[in-house]
Amino acid sequence: MSLPKHFPTEQLGAANRRKLEWYYRRYVEAFYQEYRFGHFLLTAYAAVPALLTPDLLYKLWQNFHQYRWAGRTERIHRVAVSDLLLSPLCREVGFELYEMDAGIRQAFLDWQQRIAGEPLWQDRHLATVKSIAEFLEEYHARPNPARQRWGEAYEELQQWNTLAFTRPEQLQKKMWQKLRESVAGKKETETLRVLDFWSKTETQLALSTADTVPEQWRQNARFAQAWKALLQHNTQLFTEAFTQDPAYQSMLDDNPEGGIAVSMPVKVKEVLDQIQQAANPEPERPERIMALLIGVDQYAHPELPQLKGCGNDVQDFGRFLENAADYLGMPLEAEPLVDREANLEQVWSSLRGLVNELQQGDHFVFFFAGNSSNSLARMDWEKDGRLYLYDSEPGKGGWSGIRQREIEEMLIDIIRERKINCLLVLDHPQSREQPVTKAATDPLRDYPPELNGSLVILYGGEDGQVTYESTFGQESRGIFPYALLKVFREKGFNISFRNLIETTRLRMTQLTDQQTPAMEAFPAEMAEALIFSHEVQTEEKIYEVRFEPEISRYVLGAGARQGITPSLEFMSTLVRLEDGRVLTVDAVYRDYASIRDFTGDGSDTTYRATLLQAALPKIQVAFDPGIDEKMEAQLRSVIQSYAIHYIDIRDNWEDAGYFIHAWQNDYFLSRQISTREARSESLRPLFNLEPNPFELIKQMEYIAQWTGVLEYQNPNSRINRDDLMVAVGLVEDQRLEPSNLDKLEPSRIEEDPAMVSVDYPGGERADTPGVQLQLRSEIKQLLYVTTLYLDSQYGISPNAVRQPLEPGGLVSVPFMVQGNNHRTIPLRFDPKNLDLGKSEVHDYLKIFISTEPLDTQPLQQESLELDQDTARTTIIRQQEERGTFTIEEMDWTAITIPIRIIYRPDTGSSSGYGNPYQQQQTSSPEKNMPEEDFFRQDYTGSEAPEEAAPASRINPGELQMVRDMVAKNEMRRAMDTMLSLTKGTNSENEIILLANRLNDLERQNRIGVLTSDDYALSRNRISFALLSNISLLEESDEV
């Protein structure tokens, strides 16, 4: 797929190019017979005005909807108006007020300039920029909805934008006069607004209808950019402008007569004087991001496993670095090496070249996805951190490759002398057996504290684990890079390495049980530093609160990219001004957030503020691209009818972490999208399949709040996590009753676990498992402990007891069970999960440690019950009754422990389908694959292919026969056939569980305990789960 000839794709960043390609594919290629080229043309016309409203864009369509195409007169379809405004090309900046992305708008304006003289395009009778600009001038001269709603600032901006195309000389006079007035009145915000627009007029001047545009006017636009940088205290950008163009010097004069007075700090004046005196000045060099990105899917040697997602990981990580560089204002030099390019010679050459270029203040990133000795080696001594490249071969000392310790030593030699931040992101397991390097002082490579720079290493897994791939979106990706980059996209760049790895860990527990990310930092305190920052942030971050004339209200100078979250019904995002006033954050946009009910002390006043409390983040949800259009329309209609508190519906599926699907007549939510390879029936639903759109919305709200609480952290906590020790006691093979929950002793204890796993016996057995909790503190301060239990059915159970934790003390934390406090909390596995293809679930234990007693009751949420509706009024009543959650006046931290509950059918089951638990025990102990192929796990390093391959393969035609049986409602025959086909494979346990479930269902139906509707619904769910397993089998190497 390619955009039209002459379109300036080279100007677009990677993210904008993907947005535009998606738009072109969706509305030009996919609907060419219906829409022809109309959507693209209307987008080009919409690039002329500075801002868009539905009324303005509709009027543009009315006046310029005809064009010629292939010799015929065509009309732009009216639906293009709404399609454009709701697409990723535009963002809503106010109520019914939209702005096209600046880079995309620039590209469309340049494209119109390029095709203006092309005979082919002239024959198509397109509207010219001049005619559109003249129409806009007339439109804004008359009353219109936006003019009445947004007032003078909106009207002025649109008029200036039109004048830049039609009468640039008049625009220069207006802006000069406006600038003089704002400077004289000391209205810095207004001055910045004028300079910002003036600096962006260079493109419009190039498209101007005036016969000639003096070069001085273009130079004015560039000078406005420099002045704007000065007002924003960006000395570097201001002085660079004067370095690059000496003509700017003539624009500054000590005599203010006839000009505008520019306030300039002494240091800036000294820099300008030095520039003027130097013959060939050297501009101050900004911090740079230097990166080497390596991904190896295809290996030359046949004994190394071939992978699928490493190249995609490199591409994704490269886009992340582009966004980071854009946000931080840093130049980026990134070199991707994939497959054949990632050979030993090229990697060493590129690594040495980049490292030799590193200078004071730079940031170096090394990313690797592929096989390594840490994931493939069987013996601990072989786990030497060797990264296998495309041409790696076996030898006397093991496989050839590049050792992690060699990279580290190369970087340590540099950061001893220079302040350079180095980040290694390695999608392979950490190894405790790595040889001690020459710089180490203990076996864990504790580099000396006299480093000027830093080295942070992020691992995809812990020692002894294997890292995996899975299918995300439309292609394979590594689970660790995927989860890591998702956290960055949702949390912004203002996140410490420790919080980053902790949030990524929690995300990964929902994707795989076999992989836990790890981190090392040298020096150790750099774990608390923000990414691409040279310092650990010891003081609270200062934000600016200013008046924004364009929306006539005060805003916080930070938004979603800075990690700011909007306030919720029961929890507000709060900032505190220097004078002690507390303000509430309302709506959050990309780089700013509106402030609720704050009038300030005058529009010229700017305030300094600190973040007092952040609300839970919303989850990003999108419709699966393959969803039935009628079902999507029905659900969208319901969404518009009800208030949604914790969810953002995104038009672009790439921005989302959850996806809405439809199968037959049911909706469901999952973390994947359907593709040609992964159809809707192969996707595992997070909860019930719902025929009722309203019930799905309720599900999403529950899941959203549950997810927000699960990942809630305090990035500014001063409580040292390393001084807190957690012990989890697991009670197994004992009967749990209300009378003995305080008397039972744990069968095993795990200290500071990344995750705990327990078996849940099925059948008639009553010895269900339970957990106990103890906490020890080495902090010399009185603390308080309270807990939340987050169950797999999205319930949140707070502990009413705020247990004091004495300095250096030990405390057993009680749990609330049926209204009473007990030492042991029973665990639960609902057998109805088996209908959804789930033989295991995850609960979470969240422990809050705070300097003051913390009330977590407002976070309470009842569990969703499988196959049972919960009225929406229940949700609303809960929100009203539980009050407001606030933690603004205390310091706190949180520890989250995942609990994996694995369903094991009772050995005494009367079913004739065998014992899956026994089958699991007799399988190979060396195989480190997840027990359940939840996301079609592939190897990112494992055993050699001939050992990992199944003994026998299933014929795809036989699986299609089973599909046909299900379609004919021959469930018994289909199940028996699947049991025969999967015998001895990794999928056998799943099919046995489904067969047992079908047996139970048929028995209950025979004795009359089920209604016909309940029977049909349960049978439909088992059919769905069976088809899901068939699709996963088709994508595995067992077929």
Burial zone of 993 (CB within 10 Å; 0-12 exposed, 13-18 middle, 19+ buried) = buried
Size of the chain, expressed as the number of residues it contains: 1039
Q: What's the number of CA atoms in the CB half-sphere (13 Å) around residue 855? A: 11
Q: For 119-143, what is the mean pLDDT? A: 84
Determine the pLDDT at residue 677: 39
Higher-confidence residue of 278 and 822: namely 822
Nearest to 560 by CA among 642, 489, 503, 646: 489
**Degrees (nearest 5) of the Cα angle 160, 163, 166?**
165
pLDDT confidence bin for 281, thresholds 50/70/90: very low
Determine the pLDDT at residue 808: 82
Write the pLDDT tens digit of every residue in 479-504: 999 999 988 877 777 788 988 998 89
Most confident of 403-417, 521-535, 915-929, 1024-1038: 403-417
Write the pLDDT tens digit of every residue in 515-554: 889 998 888 888 888 888 877 766 667 889 988 887 888 8
Q: Euclidean distance between the first and final Cα of the chain, in Å?
A: 33
Write the pLDDT tens digit of every residue in 877-924: 444 445 556 666 688 899 999 998 988 775 433 332 222 222 222 222
Percent of the chain at pLDDT > 90 equals 15
d(CA 544, CA 549): 15
d(CA 723, CA 884): 30
User: Minimum mean pLDDT among 159-173, 203-217, 869-883: which range?
Assistant: 869-883
pLDDT at 231 over 90: no
pLDDT at 161 over 90: no
From residue 701, how far is each of 488, 821, 883 by CA, in Å?
Answer: 23, 29, 18
731 within 8 A of 747, measured Cβ to Cβ = yes
pLDDT at 994 over 60: yes
Provide the CA 691 distance to its chain's centre, in angstroms.
29
d(CA 223, CA 1023): 68
> DSSP assignment, residue 962?
H
Strand, helix or coil at 505?
helix
Determine the pLDDT at residue 869: 53
d(CA 588, CA 566): 6
Q: For 619-630, what is the mean pLDDT? A: 83
pLDDT confidence bin for 871, thresholds 50/70/90: very low
pLDDT at 654 over 80: no
pTM above 0.85, yes or no: no
Write the pLDDT tens digit of every residue in 724-749: 999 999 988 888 888 888 888 888 88
pLDDT at 208 over 60: no
Write the pLDDT tens digit of every residue in 5-26: 778 888 888 888 888 989 988 8
Average per-residue pLDDT for the chain = 77
Q: For 929-938, what is the mean pLDDT? A: 28
Determine the pLDDT at residue 474: 66
Determine the pLDDT at residue 168: 73
Determine the pLDDT at residue 254: 52
Q: For 636-659, what is the mean pLDDT? A: 76
996 within 8 A of 913, measured Cβ to Cβ = yes
Provide the CA 880 distance to its chain's centre, in angstroms.
31
d(CA 292, CA 282): 27
Determine the pLDDT at residue 763: 58
Handedness of CA 954, 956, 958, 961 (dihedral sign): positive
